[in-house]
A and B are shown apart, each in its own frame.
Chain A
Amino acid sequence: MDEFTSEQFGADSSADQAASLTIEQAIANLQGDDWGQRYYAAWWLGRFRVRTPEAVEALIASLTDEADRTPDGGYPLRRNAARALGKLNDRRAVPALIQCLDCSDFYVREAAAQSLGSLGDRAAAEPLLQLLAGGVEAAQPIPGCPHLAQPYDAVIEALGALGATAAVPHLQPFLEHPTAIVQYATARALYQLTGEAQYGERLVTALSGSTLQLRRAALADLGAIGYLPAAEAIAETLAENSLKLISLKGLLEHQVNQTPSSEVSAEAIRVMSLMDSLL
């Protein structure tokens, strides 16, 4: 999601490179005493995809950090380390991230679920599914709390990304969850797990959602599943062109990966024509 939101108004993430570190410095900072620098180094290693064994090991070690705590008991460094590990494509992080699913900090659990989804190791499916225990009844909004009991949307998305077909009956009730974002995540996962158009169409309907935030979420979800019939609806959604382009990129790449050929297919041309019109 971070690439998605950093572009919201066309801000440029490459400007981040101005505050550059060297890899050695970043790893040293991550293990140093300055909390601010540790936090930044964890983010930096993920942002610039530093895949060296030293970086991955230092980040894994940060997942059990006890020093950096917020007043209400959160673990900021763990959150950033968990997010970074999701970008480094090194499955050695999987056991430690699974441990993080039990962390007392909601945002650590959320980051771990997202990263387990992107690392693609099915060993994570069962522990992720356990976070859905109690079903929709246990997942109701908590008055006065800014988040649900579990990071349901992240967990459900991860199960979809991992191809955890055994989760389908557990996911279906979440289509009726009171939170739109959780409904979308569920439609997205169920589409990935079943390939049924009804779930893609739910997300197409969501493109005309009442708030910009909901429409952005639907754009991201359709891009993630590469649901080709949504192409025109995506192009016409009331949202920033940057986000529509990223969404269509998801459709295009899904299409190209599914049917590799030396010539550009008619479907791919259809998507690119829409993309051209949004530049």
Chain B
Amino acid sequence: MSNAALAQSLIRAVNEAASAASLLEAVQQLAAAQLEETIPTLIATLSYNNPGAAVAAVDGLVAIGKPAVQPLLDLLDSHNYTARAWAIRALAGIGDSRGLDELLDAAQNDFALSVRRAAARGLGTLHWYELASDRVQAAQVAALTALLKVCQDPEWVVRYAAITGLQALASAASTLQPNLVLDIQHHLKQFAETETDLTVRTRICWAQQQLRAPSTSSPSLVYATDIGIGLELDWQRTVDNLYQRKFEERSHTLPEGDPRRYKKLVEVLQTH
């Protein structure tokens, strides 16, 4: 079946669902297909009073990602409160930078804690690289300001989400704004002393632990700019060693695909 035909049959199942349970199942299947053609139907589902189906639709929209952003932003203009709340959750999950203003507002002002929670998380995980470089710094400062306010939310789970947002923001900002990272660490230290909820306090400790640990994800651009040539030399040496080792292994006539080759490569990488 072609994608279009598949989408049509899945959409029909949603439209013809006669009970809450069958609607849920139809939306789950529609969401699992991850087809752009299904976006309008998934979005329509957000307006039905069926939380299970809405959760499935949000998951589907997040999986589809970018193509769903503009339709979601359009939906935010509607006056259907429930639909707005789900749309914010989907935007937070997608992380598209076009949702920034909505997330800033929702994290601080929405009356439903599930929306504040999702928006606070989304503020940390936004795709900053999509923004023009001259906008990133201001946007990250705006996110930090909002998240610090959200850390005072009366609901523990919203504060928890804000901590995860701060941690993610610190990781993202380390490339362009090392000072922001220091600010975040400073605030985390303060929150750790005043936070009354044990779960949130534990999450703060974990965030601090991870921000203290050297980044294991990608080689940070901070180092590239700060240390500059030193780092380049290191990488050069690593690559040299790698080729050297490969050459040696080849000369030891290890058969193609022998796992020992891989093991030695790992060792070489780990020593640098």
A residues apposed to B, CB below 8 Å: 7, 9-15, 17, 212, 238, 240-242, 245-246, 249, 252-253, 256-257, 263-264, 268-269, 272, 275-276, 279
Contact = CB atoms under 8 A, between A and B. Distances in A.
Interface stretch (B4-12, B171-179, B195-203, B226-234): B195-203
B52 interface: yes
Interface string B46-68: 00000110010000000000000
Given A12-B155, A14-B155, A269 B206 contact: yes
Given A253-B199, A264-B205, A279-B117, A14 B154 contact: yes
Given A11-B113, A272-B206, 16 more contacts: A10-B85, A10-B113, A13-B155, A14-B113, A14-B155, A17-B154, A212-B52, A246-B157, A249-B199, A253-B198, A257-B198, A264-B202, A264-B206, A264-B209, A279-B118, A279-B160
Nearest to A263: B209
Interface in B169-220: 198-199, 202-203, 205-206, 209
A230 B115 CA distance: 26
A162 to B, nearest CB: 22
Q: Can you list the 9 inter-chain pairs with the closest CB atoms, starting with the nearest?
A: A10-B114, A279-B121, A14-B154, A10-B112, A264-B206, A279-B161, A249-B199, A12-B113, A253-B198
B129 interface: no
B123 to A, nearest CB: 11
A268 B112 CA distance: 27
B261 to A, nearest CB: 32
Interface of B: 51-52, 55, 85, 111-115, 117-118, 120-121, 154-157, 160-161, 164, 198-199, 202-203, 205-206, 209
B113 A276 contact: no
B154 A272 contact: no
B164 A276 contact: yes
Contacts of B55: 240-241
A14 B152 CA distance: 13
B154 to A, nearest CB: 4
A7 B203 CA distance: 21
Nearest to B111: A12
A241 B121 CA distance: 14
A212 B50 CA distance: 13
B203 to A, nearest CB: 6
A256 B160 CA distance: 16
A11 B112 contact: yes
Given A10-B85, A10-B113, A272 B209 contact: no
B209 to A, nearest CB: 6
Contacts of B154: 14, 17
Given A14-B155, A263-B209, A264-B209, A241 B114 contact: yes
A238 B111 CA distance: 25
Contact of B198 (A9, A13, A256, A272): A256
Contacts of B203: 272, 275
Given A12-B111, A238-B52, A242-B114, A275 B202 contact: no
**Residue with the greatest number of chain A CB neighbours at <10 A, chosen from B114, B117, B205, B206:** B114
Contacts of B199: 249, 252-253
B120 to A, nearest CB: 8
A12 B111 CA distance: 6
20 contacts: A7-B113, A10-B112, A11-B112, A11-B113, A12-B112, A13-B155, A15-B111, A240-B55, A241-B114, A249-B157, A249-B199, A253-B198, A263-B209, A264-B205, A264-B206, A272-B202, A276-B121, A279-B121, A279-B157, A279-B161
B146 to A, nearest CB: 16
B113 A245 contact: no
A242 B116 CA distance: 12
Contacts of B157: 242, 245-246, 249, 279
B170 to A, nearest CB: 15
A195 to B, nearest CB: 22
Nearest to A15: B111
Contacts of A241: 55, 114
Contacts of B209: 263-264
Nearest to A275: B160
A164 B231 CA distance: 64
A268 B206 contact: yes
A10 B198 contact: no
A53 B209 CA distance: 42
A279 B159 CA distance: 11
A272 B200 CA distance: 10
Nearest to A279: B121
